Structure 1
Amino acid sequence: MDIAVGYARAQTPTAYGLVFVFAIETVGVSFMLAPYPVAHLVMLVLDLYTVFLVLGLHAAAVTRPHVVGPGELRVRRGARLDLRIPLERIASARYDLRFPDANKSEDGVLDVAIASQTSITIALTQPVTAVSLLGRRTEVHTVRCHADEPQTAVAAIKRLLPMDS
Structure 2
Amino acid sequence: MTALARRAVRFEAGSWRSLARWLLRRPDLAPGDTPFPYRGPLLAPMLVMTGLSVLEVVALDLLLPWPGLRLVLLVVGVWGTIMMLGMLAAVTVHPHAAGPSGLRIRHGTSLDVHIGWDAVAGVRHVRRSRPGSRSVQTDGGQLFVLVGGQTAVEIELARPVIVALPGDRSAEVTTVCLYADDSRGLVSAVRASLRSSEP
- TM-score scaled to structure 2, two decimals? 0.76
Q: CA deviation at 1:105?
A: 4.9
Between 1:11-20 and 1:94-103, the stretch displaced more is: 94-103
1:32 paired residue number: 63
Ranges in structure 1 where 5+ consecutive residues have no aligned partner: none
Between 1:62-71 and 1:127-136, the stretch displaced more is: 127-136
1:83 paired residue number: 113
- What stretches of structure 1 move > 6 A for 4+ residues in a row? none
Q: CA deviation at 1:10?
A: 1.8
| Alpha-carbon RMSD | 1.7
- What secondary structure is seen at the aligned counterpart in 1 of 2:132? coil
2:23 paired residue number: none
1:59-114 Cα shifts (integer Å, max 9, x gaps): 11111111101221000111111000111111111111112112685222111111
Q: Which has the higher helix share?
A: 2
Match for 1:90: what amino acid? V
Q: CA deviation at 1:155?
A: 0.3
Counterpart pick for 2:52 among 21, 24, 28: 21
* Aligned counterparts, 1:72-111, within 5 A: 72-102=102-132, 105-111=138-144
1:27-62 Cα shifts (integer Å, max 9, x gaps): 1122232x2222212211111111111111111111
Counterparts of 1:126 and 1:17 in 2: how far apart (Å)? 42
1:43 paired residue number: 73
1:12 paired residue number: 43
Counterparts of 1:49 and 1:128 in 2: how far apart (Å)? 38
| Length, aligned pairs only | 163
- TM-score scaled to structure 1, two decimals? 0.91
Counterpart pick for 1:56 among 71, 83, 86: 86
Match for 2:165: what amino acid? S
Counterparts of 1:118 and 1:84 in 2: how far apart (Å)? 18
Q: Structure with the greater relative contact order (CA < 8 A, sep ≥ 6): 1 or 2?
A: 1
- What secondary structure is seen at the aligned counterpart in 1 of 2:139? coil
Q: CA deviation at 1:24?
A: 1.1
Counterparts of 1:83 and 1:57 in 2: how far apart (Å)? 19
